[in-house]
């Protein structure tokens, strides 16, 4: 069991280009710049200062999370095996391929080992580059080999510093997005400060470094910043082409680095679809974004040796369906309110039907079942019938895939972020409803247009996209806690943009009949400055205390296990056990595994369920036969799983196995009526009694307080 113990002492601000506003040449003090030359100099100075702040805050965030990582683990002082064990579960699996590439005799041999891998899944040869998103590990390992840094920097530091460096890119992208939306770099400064002070809810990079999302989310933030700029009006053709190129590159890199990219971009495509239907975005730009998503995903598909899960993604089916439906319904945006609503309903139904038909057809042709566990999980999560499916229940019982805890909002409120977010969200949602109604009604009455004018200024295309984006990803975060990091980071952007937006304050003051240009400028700058001062005074001492708190990594049982495996088993030995532990076994020892945590493959899921019978109520001969069918030489049993108390009854791993096998669960409580008692005791408990029926198949060769390792007999 890993613990962290106390360390022992002895051992633009003001005028972003192409941002239409009444007050284009206004200083923070409210004075109007009448001299064009002075205005240009002020803009240059503003952009320079804003850029310096952006880069400084990005670098500061990188240093901050790197320091927290070092202080929590004493990473610079612990042994290599302890460093590797600190990369838990799938993090260790991904890092193992970086290590494998570094240790290979040549780059070509390293790539060959990944394309024809027979150590990740025993008795099978798989293509790691096709199955997993590990091109970043490949690229980084090649970079480390060719750069003259081997004498100065260990491979593990090159790896983690790259991830911490990406946090700088992430923060700068959030800063720039907020700046573009509001027209002032003060908004970006507030967004970055909120990101840092809400670190617990905005990132987990310091303790899950190799996780795919830590690679992908910085590129997603860059993509959103590029889309925000693209949706501005009056862009020059060269600006538009360069921005589309930036969107494509960011989309491609995001897709390449995370296997769940397709689901995130599907939500993004839904946001574009909603806004396009309501005539809030330029159709031509939306079309380009659909095409970029498809082409970026298809390019990744080619690089991943035509990964069928990508080809069968809902995103490709949805985007193609939208483009087809738009071709069929050419007059979608003409007519009165009722006419438009009728056409929209037909359009939505057509897109939905086409999406399902195309997706079903692709999956039928490719015989694709890689992502079926996700849809089983979603079906069970949202109450469309109970399920005994082992894979679905495995997700349902994990806290990370549950609802967002309520204490998240109290933490976000302590920094004023949630209050500001709710305030801005309410205002822009009201404005969006009014603008949508006006667009659908198609009214040209001058009186109505004058009445609506004060609302339209607060909902330019980029602001409309940001609104729908935050609402959809907010729904995702509320339903699945693990996805909150996609929402909370954009929450910082959205809230800071609203507090620093001329249009938002202009709308409020006009509604209160208090509007003047000077008053708007005073509020626009004073509110974020006061908020920044509050955050600084309240949280700076806590951050300093956090940075001064020193701990160290401590997991002697796992260290002892890994050292024993390296010293006492052949290099070709095959190990079975929990998929989380086996990822560490592969990284630390290089031994062959029966299963692992990368769950996006049907055969692997079925294999994992079979391996996990070591924690079920099965006979020793059954378990032996299952393990030997996968070439197992050693099996590792963990007391923390066999006698699990972390989950409640019904969600313990042994309970999930019992239900899937049709057996009643242990302990007091109800069981479904068709479940029956097992004929055999629980394997992981009974094997420790050294009964003859067990010792004829299994011999204990290692034991400590946490782990029990048994060697399998090789019967003829």
Mean residue pLDDT across the chain: 90
Whose tokens are 């830590």? That residue is: 214
419 or 234: which leads in pLDDT: 419
For residue 633, how many other CB atoms are within 10 A of its CB?
20
Residue 33 has pLDDT above 70, yes or no: no
Least confident of 211-220, 272-281, 435-444: 435-444
Mean pLDDT across 169-195: 97
Helix ranges, 461-598 (H): 461-479, 484-499, 502-511, 517-548, 556-568, 579-589
- Give per-residue pLDDT as tens, 459-479: 899 999 999 999 999 999 999
Mean pLDDT across 502-506: 89
714 or 616: which leads in pLDDT: 616
Residue 499 has pLDDT above 50, yes or no: yes
Pairing of the two strands 707-712 and 698-703 = antiparallel
Closest CA to 477 of 383, 406, 385, 373: 406
Mean pLDDT across 239-247: 97
CA–CA distance, 683 with 680 (Å, rounded to integer): 8
Residue 555 has pLDDT above 90, yes or no: yes
pLDDT at 3: 57
pLDDT at 217: 97
The DSSP code for 613 is G
Residue 144 has pLDDT above 90, yes or no: yes
Mean pLDDT across 612-635: 96
Q: What is the DSSP annotation of 323-379?
A: HHHHHH-TTTT-S-HHHHHHHHHHHHHHHHHHHHHHHHHHHHHHT--TTHHHHHHHH
CA–CA distance, 223 with 244 (Å, rounded to integer): 10
**333 burial type by CB count under 10 A (0-12 exposed, 13-18 middle, 19+ buried):** middle
Residue 90 has pLDDT above 70, yes or no: yes
Mean pLDDT across 73-91: 94
Give the confidence band of 303 by pLDDT, cuts at 50, 70, 90.
Answer: very high
- Helix, strand or coil, per DSSP, at residue 675: coil
| Dihedral sign, Cα of residue 498, residue 502, residue 507, residue 508 | positive
| Dihedral sign, Cα of residue 227, residue 228, residue 229, residue 234 | positive
pLDDT-above-90 percentage for the chain: 76
Mean pLDDT across 436-465: 66
pLDDT at 715: 74
203 or 397: which leads in pLDDT: 203
In order of their start, the domains of the chain are: 163-548 (no CATH), 556-712 (3.40.50)
Please state the separation of Cα 25 from the chain's center in Å.
40
Give the confidence band of 640 by pLDDT, cuts at 50, 70, 90.
Answer: very high
Residue 77 has pLDDT above 90, yes or no: yes
Pairing of the two strands 634-638 and 574-576 = parallel
pLDDT at 59: 97
Closest CA to 439 of 258, 281, 241: 281
pLDDT at 377: 76
CA–CA distance, 596 with 393 (Å, rounded to integer): 18
pLDDT at 5: 56
440 or 111: which leads in pLDDT: 111
Mean pLDDT across 630-648: 93
Whose tokens are 């087809």? That residue is: 324
> Which residues fall within 8 angstroms of residue 453, CB to CB, at 6 or more apart?
none
> Which residues fall within 8 angstroms of residue 232, CB to CB, at 6 or more apart?
18, 19, 180, 460, 461, 462
Least confident of 354-363, 376-385, 552-561: 376-385
pLDDT at 601: 87
pLDDT at 20: 38
Contact status, residue 130 vs residue 304, Cβ threshold 8 Å: yes
pLDDT-above-70 percentage for the chain: 92
What does the chain come to in residues? Answer: 716
Q: Which tokens go with 414?
A: 């302590």
Contact status, residue 192 vs residue 20, Cβ threshold 8 Å: no
Question: Phi first, then psi: what are they for 331, rounded to 5°?
Answer: -105, 40
Residue 384 has pLDDT above 60, yes or no: yes
- Give per-residue pLDDT as tens, 695-708: 999 999 999 999 99
Give the confidence band of 448 by pLDDT, cuts at 50, 70, 90.
Answer: very low
Q: What is the DSSP annotation of 78-145?
A: S-HHHHHHTS-HHHHHHHHHHHHHHHSSSHHHHHHHHHTB-SSSTT--B-HHHHS--HHHHHHHHHHH
Residue 445 has pLDDT above 80, yes or no: no
Cα Rg, the chain, nearest whole Å = 28
Residue 443 has pLDDT above 70, yes or no: no
Residue 398 has pLDDT above 80, yes or no: yes
Residue 387 has pLDDT above 90, yes or no: no
């Amino acid at each position: 069991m890993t613990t962290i113990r106390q360390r022992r002492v002895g051992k633009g601000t003001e005028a972003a280009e192409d941002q239409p506003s009444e007050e284009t040449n206004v200083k923070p003090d409210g004075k109007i710049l009448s001299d064009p030359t002075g205005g240009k100099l002020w803009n240059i100075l503003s952009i320079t200062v804003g850029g310096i702040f952006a880069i400084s805050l990005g670098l500061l965030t990188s240093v901050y999370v790197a320091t927290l990582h070092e202080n929590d683990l004493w990473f610079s002082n612990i042994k290599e095996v302890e460093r590797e064990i600190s990369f838990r579960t799938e993090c260790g699996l991904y890092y193992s391929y970086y290590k494998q590439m570094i240790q290979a005799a040549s780059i070509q041999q390293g790539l060959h080992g990944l394309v024809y891998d027979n150590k990740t899944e025993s008795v099978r040869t798989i293509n790691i580059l096709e199955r997993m998103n590990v091109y970043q590990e490949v690229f980084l390992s090649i970079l480390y080999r060719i750069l003259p840094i081997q004498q100065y920097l260990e491979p593990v530091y090159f790896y983690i510093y790259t991830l911490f460096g990406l946090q700088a890119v992430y923060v700068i992208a959030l800063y720039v997005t907020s700046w573009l939306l509001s027209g002032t770099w003060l908004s970006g400064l507030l967004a970055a400060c909120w990101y840092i002070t809400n670190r617990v809810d905005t990132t987990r990079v310091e303790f899950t470094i190799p996780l795919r999302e830590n690679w992908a989310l910085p590129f997603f933030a860059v993509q959103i910043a590029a889309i925000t700029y693209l949706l501005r009006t009056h862009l020059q053709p060269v600006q538009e082409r360069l921005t589309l190129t930036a969107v494509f590159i960011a989309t491609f890199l995001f897709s390449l680095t995370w296997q769940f990219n397709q689901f995130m971009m599907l939500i993004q495509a839904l946001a574009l679809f909603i806004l396009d239907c309501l005539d809030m975005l330029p159709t031509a730009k939306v079309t380009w974004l659909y095409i970029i998503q498809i082409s970026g995903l298809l390019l990744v598909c080619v690089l991943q040796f035509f990964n069928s899960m990508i080809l069968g993604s809902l995103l490709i089916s949805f985007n193609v369906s939208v483009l087809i439906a738009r071709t069929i319904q050419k007059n979608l945006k003409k007519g009165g309110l009722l006419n438009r609503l009728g056409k929209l309903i037909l359009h939505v139904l057509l897109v939905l039907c086409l999406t399902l038909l195309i997706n079903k057809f692709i999956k039928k042709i490719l015989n694709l079942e890689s992502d079926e566990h996700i849809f089983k999980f979603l079906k069970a999560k949202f109450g469309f019938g109970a399920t005994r499916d082992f894979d679905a229940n495995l997700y349902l019982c994990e806290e990370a895939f549950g609802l967002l805890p309520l204490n998240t909002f109290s933490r976000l409120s302590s920094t004023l972020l949630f209050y500001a977010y709710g305030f801005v969200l309410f205002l822009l949602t009201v404005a969006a409803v009014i603008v949508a109604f006006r667009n659908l009604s198609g009214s040209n009455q001058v009186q109505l247009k004058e009445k609506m004018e004060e609302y339209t200024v607060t909902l330019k295309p980029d602001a409309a996209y940001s609104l729908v984006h935050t609402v959809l990803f907010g729904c995702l975060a509320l339903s699945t806690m693990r996805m909150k990091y996609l929402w909370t980071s954009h929450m910082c952007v959205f809230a800071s943009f609203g507090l620093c937006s001329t249009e938002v304050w202009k709308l409020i003051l006009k509604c209160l009949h208090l509007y003047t240009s000077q008053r708007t400028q005073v509020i626009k700058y004073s509110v974020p400055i006061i908020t920044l001062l509050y955050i600084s005074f309240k949280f700076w001492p806590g951050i300093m205390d956090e940075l001064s708190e020193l701990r160290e990594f401590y997991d002697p049982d796992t260290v002892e296990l890994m050292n024993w495996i390296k010293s006492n088993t052949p290099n070709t030995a095959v190990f079975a056990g929990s998929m989380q532990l086996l990822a560490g076994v592969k990284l630390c020892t290089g031994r062959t595994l029966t299963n692992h945590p990368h769950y996006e493959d049907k055969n692997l899921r079925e294999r994992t369920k079979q391996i996990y019978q070591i924690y079920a109520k099965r006979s020793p001969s059954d378990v032996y036969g299952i393990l030997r069918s996968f070439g197992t030489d050693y099996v590792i049993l963990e007391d923390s799983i066999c006698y699990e108390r972390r989950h409640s009854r019904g969600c313990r791993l042994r309970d999930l196995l019992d239900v899937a096998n049709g057996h009643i669960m242990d302990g007091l409580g109800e069981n479904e009526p068709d479940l029956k008692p097992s004929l055999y005791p629980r394997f992981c408990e009974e094997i420790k009694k050294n009964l003859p029926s067990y010792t004829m198949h299994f011999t204990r060769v290692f034991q400590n307080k946490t782990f029990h390792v048994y060697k399998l007999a090789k019967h003829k």
